[in-house]
Structure 1
Amino acid sequence: MAHNQELLAETSVIKFKDQDFNSLRDRCLSRGWLFEDETFPPMASSIGHKLLQGKCLSNLEWKRPQDLSNGPPHFILEGASRFDIQQGEAGDCWFLAALGSLTQNPQCLQKILMVQSFSHQYAGIFRFRFWQCGQWVELVIDDRLPAMGKECLFVRPRKDNQEFWPCLLEKAYAKLLGSYSRLHQGYLPDALVDLTGGVVSKIDLPSSASHLLMAVKTAATEGSLMACSTPKAPTDQEEVMANGLVSQHAYTVTRAEQIQYRRGQEEIICLWNPWGKTEWRGRWSDGSREWQETSDPRKSQLYENKEDGEFWMSHQDFQENFSCLFICAQTPITLDHGNTLRERWSPKVFMNQVILRNTAGGPQSDAHYPFSVQEHTEGTNVVVSFTVTAMPPSMKAENEEFPLDFQVLKGDSQQFRESLPPTFYSPFRNAVQGINYQTKRNFTTSFHLSPGTYVVVPKTQRDAAKFLLRIFLKTPDSDRSWRSNFSLRAQKESLSETSSQQSIFYRYAQQGLDIDATQLQSLLNQELLTGPPGDTFSLDECRSILALMDLQVNGRLNQEEFTRLWRRLVTCQHVFQNTQKSPGVLRSSDLGTAIANTDFLTGISISDELLGLMTLRYSDRAHRVSFPSLVCFLMRLEAMAKTFRNLSKDGKGLYLTEEEWMNLVMYN
């Protein structure tokens, strides 16, 4: 039974082309049809001119997996793995390398794939989710795949397991971008961001050996995505070089280790090629002398001589043969001045921004995004990250460069209290940096800025550009000072003003996707309360709050569920502050007033008898109600009242099975 049924209707994932998976699948099941997607038909237009040009595809057919498999097809069999992926005719190694890294984080991968099957309620329709400019987009496809005979033209399943999730996911991404051709020769950062919603840090090679190895090891442990690329060949085409690497090609970076070799330690890095074979032939490659000579006790765990596309290479060879390493996490990564992945960053998030081209020659006066650097810190302390919306398929290839340029300008604080004068935007006045970067949809750059007030000023050569801007500010460990007395944040620092709910969510969410009860406890206690530990949110209270907001019933809150919670927390904060008769103290006798002052409880009333029971339940011996207790009380009252109204047919009573009753009272 879905709980909080009225609240469930408040939120939904964006439906690509307004196609709803459940209604489309149910219609097909009721009529005995297999889904045929008219928005991405089995035609040459869905493949695209770039991949069709110069090829004889007279035998091309679009087939469903049961027609391509020698046995029953599977969506996922015994877990998803990078070894399920084999690149086909499209040059989309940039996407597959990112996907190969995502398979090492099953929890995040499942949010993209979801639970799907070729047996249970199969109707030829599948759905996937991608992160697009600050929001998750759900997209449906039919399972007709372009094939020559019984061989998929693009990503193909391994013959020994017949898992089709990589083929279907690739088709979904092609539909999102417009065609398979738009997967041909893309950019790693775009795929990394689309699969996670993270921010990409680019580490140019060679880099500091010790810091790089530590960054790779830490990123692997924390589930961050890692991928790298080789330089271009003179012919500007992918070529297998003498050392076994492929030029102008993307690889997944899976881990890094220090291994015993001869009388010392050697640093090695493990990579995977989306081709599924064609491996490095140098030091520490499969069958190499180094693996035969090492006496490291972990050899059997690290090394397996298989033609599966995965191989080890020395740290030095990695830096000499690859041009850059990309790490995608929810906060930036820098390696300057000994900085590591464990830096603390505070993001400012500007969603759904639109900028128009100014034909007069300068940026528009309203396109400015201020931020402040409060304290001096070593190394990189500001990271600016732009994500622009995908371009329509109708745009020509020559217009696919990154559509924004920007500057970071410095000004005194007085200027930002007033409207900015036109002269402020002089391109020569206090300019820190201007960027034009060859990528499609994502760009991130870092700065070391002295304390002061700054503004990001973007401009575009297009008629218009829509984008997400995230500004990450390094936070010193000592930035959160405890006040002498435990209390709520002062009203002038209310939740709606301190920072956006998106930035707080990103700060605590795992991989930027969701938060569990433990993460919610840290968030509430650090963002809502100040002072030495006292009446803080307990883990049990956070589990209760999470259950009330958990529409997907998975024990976690995604960003949409957290947004609904955030609105209620803002209300509860104002109610607590406006109802208390002395600072930090709400008397149990004022609970009735608190209910009347809570806007999300409009139309809900309780009897004096129930109110008396609630004072026993939520107050202490001194008849005081803490802020965490008030939050739990008000939110539970809303959920229970709305659940009754949703389930009751006559508004006077309701009938529940034992299972429905137990699900309701035990989880909510």
Structure 2
Amino acid sequence: MAHNQETLAKTPVIKFKGQDFNFLRDHCLSRGLLFEDETFPAETSSIGLQLLQGKNLSRLMWRRPKDILEGKSEPHFILEGASRFDIQQGEAGDCWFLAALGSLTQNPQHLQKILMDQSFSCHYAGIFRFRFWQCGQWVEVVVDDRLPVLNREYLFVHPRNNNQEFWPCLLEKAYAKFRGSYLNLHYGFLPDALVDLTGGVVTSIDLHSFPSDLVMMLKTAAKAGSLVTCGTPASPTGEARRMEDGLVSQHAYTVTGAERIQYRGSWEDLIRLWNPWGNTEWRGHWADGSPEWQETHHQWRRLLYENKDDGEFWMSCQDFQDNFSCLYVCNQFPVSLNHGNMPPERWSQMMFKNHAVPGNTTEELLRDTQFIFSVPESMEDNNVVMSFNIMLQNLKAKDEKFPLTFKVFKVDPQVRFSPFSCFCCCASFQPFWKRLPPTFFSQFRNAVKGIVSKTKCNLTKYFSLSPGTYVVVIATYREVEFLLRIFLKMPDGDRNPSSNFSLTTLKASLLENGSQGSIFHKYAHQGLDIDATQLQSLLNQELLRGTPGDTFSLDECQSIVALMDLKANGRLEQEEFSRLWSRLIQCQNVFQNIQKRSGVFLSVDLWKAIKDADFLAGTSVSNELLDLMTLRYSDHSGRVSFPSLVCFLLRLEAMAKTFQNLSNDGKGLYLTKMEWMNLVMYN
């Protein structure tokens, strides 16, 4: 296992195969050359012989768009905006990728992240670049613009008639390079393409058991900016083939619309779909040219109906559910699709990138494969989502199943464990699994169940978990690198407009809120000192946004005054307050940096807070003390508020310095009863 299990920070774009687009393009331009990609050569190996069986390979050529058009017209990268109608599938069975791409065209902002700003005119050097997402990072793939042509016909995706836009052809080539060859695009999984194009999380819906309002669900997904695709069941032969009703078996489609319209005095639910083949459409009810449209009020017909041979068509919801087997919805965060017009949900996200190796024993399986998280107070269904993404380089063509297995176990509140068990290694480190009592392992036979969908390289599972602390345990039959994302639904009362929720919301940096002197005099009694009540008002008004339940209590402020009160008079003078203020700035930075990565500050982060606070430099604590501090400063779900963190760090500093001042040998100290009572009862 890799040792870095901390949440991921933002990372730069990775250059696939180490190729730098700007360097390669500038090199070609300076020499008047057109780029030729040696890492994905214009050879049959880049295609795959299986896709070329029965074809006359002597007629196979690799030609650039300008050469293909032979001067009859100029090629364009994008002309008047990118559209799903620019795509027409070729010989490869990559409808799963093209259907996802067709959905992405409905979200121009996200599509632009993939396509970049490119053209065949400005700085053209026969080189293009595209980006795909993998394991928490965007990967930039460079390709030349030589496309495989057989008998003067495009072999794979090609521009539609009278539309010389080449972005789909070049994007498909880049994706083929990303996955190894065009052959590796021949049959695949819709969720994989959705994740690769967006970095989102996929919700899989079984259409045969989905009870909710389908039109409302799809409108909710569209409003959330989701990508929506679907697939038909396989035929008895296991191959994609056109059926009598115009649908294609074992084929992927893009969902492009949903409407409820008036028809024959009642309401009819309709779904609009697009076929990447581009010229094969549904022939049943509500198809192009069907009598249903002629009987529909002209208002609806004018808004919805277009009789074009473009692969897009309408069908009733009932026909859709009868003929399609699954629906996939992809978004940056999970979307509960049965909420209709309810306010949008907010999620926190924790990300862990790791390396798994096979294990044979219970101890080997548990060693370094633990991921601990806490569920806040949310009793809603599907309030936790776990998503695994496997590095493509770890997979082989013959692999037929997902290489990881995992289980989720709730930690017994009576079982105390150290945060160090998951997140660090040190000389005194004792693995979590070695310190658990034997009774804990009985829980491992009753793992939490959830709804799951998986492919060869992506797995997503939904859980409905009660508040508490949980452990994810992972096992694998082969060595793989993976990304685990844990999404936690935030309680209704804590929702705010940010993407990742913060259960304690801090104001801007304390350094930006004015000098500590002016703030002190704003609240000080006669400008001389402040007591606990005044400190409470100061902290809550100057530090926090007033989130209910996470403000400084009077008891906490009395504790802070006692810790910083050098004269033991129950008040803080300006010099004492100045010392407190410098520590508050550090506490704020520590809290925000940790909470920024995971969306919530948990008790397992206390050790890192100690490490990151400069005023605690040189202070060390035992695992046993951290266990006690977890009980003292976190709530029942394992969350630590900002006021609790401040009290913890200030007390730790005060107690460490008190021992240092009172100890003669650094190993122990002797106190009279009165000294002991004064120390523990006030400070």
Whether TM exceeds 0.5 here: the answer is yes
In structure 2, which of residues 129, 148, 170 is the aligned counterpart of residue 127 of structure 1?
A: 129
Looking at structure 2, the residues matched to 277 and 165 of structure 1 have their Cα atoms a distance apart, in angstroms, of 20
Please tell me whether the aligned partners of residues 386 and 469 of structure 1 are also in contact (alpha carbons under 8 angstroms): yes
Q: Could you tell me whether the CA contact under 8 Å between 1:209 and 1:315 is conserved in 2?
A: no
1:139 deviates by: 1.2
Q: State whether residues 229 and 251 of structure 1, in contact with CA within 8 Å, keep that contact through their aligned partners in structure 2.
A: yes
CA distance in 1 between partners of 2:176 and 2:416 (Å): 44
Aligned to 2:433: 421
Instruction: Select the residue among 279, 282, 291 that pairs with 1:289.
Output: 291
TM-fit CA distance, 1:452? 2.2
Cα–Cα, structure 1 residues 342 and 97, in superposed 2: closer, same or farther, change >3 Å? farther
CA-CA distance at 1:473 after TM superposition: 1.6
- Aligned match for 1:378, one of 374, 377, 380: 380
Q: Does the Cα contact within 8 Å between 1:211 and 1:335 map onto a contact in 2?
A: no
Counterpart residue type for residue 102 of structure 1: L
- TM-superposed deviation, 1:455: 1.4
Task: Indicate the SS of the match to 2:432.
Answer: coil
Shift in Å, 1:117 = 0.6
| Alignment RMSD | 3.1
* Aligned counterparts, 1:519-598, within 5 A: 529-531=544-546, 577=585
Partner of 2:679 in structure 1?
none
1:14 shift after superposition: 1.1
Change (3 A) 1:417 1:530: farther
The match for 2:455 among 435, 439, 451 is 439
Q: Where does residue 223 of structure 1 map in the other structure? A: 225
* Aligned residue runs from structure 1 range 324-335, under 5 A: 324-335=326-337
Question: In the alignment, what sits opposite 2:303?
Answer: 301
Q: In structure 2, the residue corresponding to 1:255 is in which secondary structure?
A: strand
Residue 492 of structure 2 is aligned to residue 477 of structure 1: yes
Which of 459, 465, 469 aligns to 1:453? It is 469
Shift of residue 191, structure 1, vs aligned partner: 0.4
Alpha-carbon deviation of 1:400?
Answer: 4.3
Deviation of 1:360 (Å): 3.0
Q: 1:435 to 1:41 in 2, by over 3 A?
A: farther
Deviations 1:159-201 (A, max 9, x none): 2111100000000000011110110101000100111111000
CA distance in 2 between partners of 1:273 and 1:372 (Å): 43
**2-structure distance, mates of 1:185, 1:90:** 8
Cα deviation, residue 414, structure 1: 5.2
Give deviations 1:42-101, integer Å, cap 9, x for gaps: 111111233234444331111100122241111011110000000000000000000000
1:290 Cα deviation from its structure 2 partner:
0.9
Deviation at 1:426, TM superposition (A): 6.6
TM-aligned CA distance change 1:437 to 1:477, over 3 Å: closer
Match in the other structure for 2:521 = none
- Give, in angstroms, the shift of residue 208 of structure 1: 4.3
- Equivalent pairs, count: 494
Partners of 1:355 and 1:426 lie apart in 2 by: 24
User: How far does residue 487 in structure 1 lie from its aligned partner after superposition?
Assistant: 6.0
Residue type at the aligned position of 1:298: W
Q: Which residue of 1 aligns with 2:351?
A: 350
**Alpha-carbon distance in 1 for matches of 2:494, 2:343:** 15
1:346·1:472 contact (CA, 8 Å) conserved in 2? yes
User: How big is each residue's C-alpha offset from its partner over 1:332-379, in whole Å with a ceiling of 9 and x where there is no partner?
Assistant: 13456x578855243332232111111336623211111222324232
For residues 253-402 of structure 1, what are the structure 2 equivalents within 5 Å? Answer: 253-335=255-337, 343-360=344-361, 363-391=365-393, 396-402=396-402
Inter-partner Cα distance in structure 1 for 2:172 and 2:365: 38
With over 3 angstroms needed to count, the CA separation of the structure-2 counterparts of 1:72 and 1:427, relative to structure 1, is farther
Letter in 2 for 1:577: I
> Counterpart of 1:430?
446
TM-score of the aligned structures, taking structure 2 as reference length: 0.67
8 Å CA contact 2:374–2:469 kept in 1: the answer is yes
Alignment match, 1:406: 406
Q: In the aligned structure 1, how far is the partner of 2:505 from the partner of 2:349?
A: 27
1:421 Cα offset (Å):
2.4
Q: Which runs of 5+ in 1 are unaligned?
A: 1-9, 492-527, 534-572, 581-597, 600-668
Contact 1:204/1:324 (CA < 8 Å) preserved in 2?
yes
CA contact (8 A) 1:334 1:341 kept: no
Distance in 2 (CA, whole Å) between partners of 1:268 and 1:11 is: 43
Deviates more, 1:164-173 or 1:383-392: 383-392
- Counterpart residue number, 2:191: 189
* Alpha-carbon separation, structure 1, partners of 2:155 and 2:29: 29
What secondary structure, in the 3-state scheme, does the structure 2 residue paired with 1:191 have? helix
CA distance in 1 between partners of 2:382 and 2:441 (Å): 25
The percentage of counterpart residues that share the same residue type is 61
Runs of at least 5 residues in structure 2 that lack an aligned partner in the other structure: 1-9, 419-430, 511-542, 549-580, 589-612, 615-683
Once the two structures are overlaid, the 10-residue window that deviates more, 449-458 or 177-186, is: 449-458
Paired residue type of 2:466: S
In the aligned structure 2, how far is the partner of 1:181 from the partner of 1:382?
36
Provide the rounded CA distance (Å) in 2 between the counterparts of 1:375 and 1:251. 39
Cα 1:11–1:364 change in 2 (3 A) is closer
Contact residue 219 and residue 341 of structure 1 kept, 8 A: no
* Secondary structure of the structure 2 residue equivalent to 1:298: helix
2:248 to 236, 240, 246: 246
Change (3 A) 1:404 1:487: closer
Q: Name the structure 1 match of 2:640.
A: none
Q: Is the 8 A contact 1:227 1:325 kept in 2?
A: yes
- For 1:257 and 1:480, locate their aligned partners in 2 and report how far apart those are by CA, in whole Å: 30
Q: CA, structure 1 residues 221+366, in 2 after alignment: closer, same or farther (shift >3 Å)?
A: same
By how many angstroms is 1:433 displaced?
3.4
Corresponding residue SS for 1:220: helix
Structure 2 CA distance for partners of 1:489 and 1:271, relative to 1, 3 Å: same
**1:521 — aligned with what?**
none
Query: 1 CA distance for matches of 2:143 and 2:325?
Result: 36
Residue 25 of structure 1 is matched in structure 2 by 25
Q: Secondary structure at the match of 2:445?
A: coil
Q: Distance in 2 between matches of 1:487 and 1:62?
A: 58
TM-score by length of structure 1 reads 0.69
Q: Secondary structure at the match of 1:233?
A: coil
Q: Which residue is equivalent to 2:645?
A: none
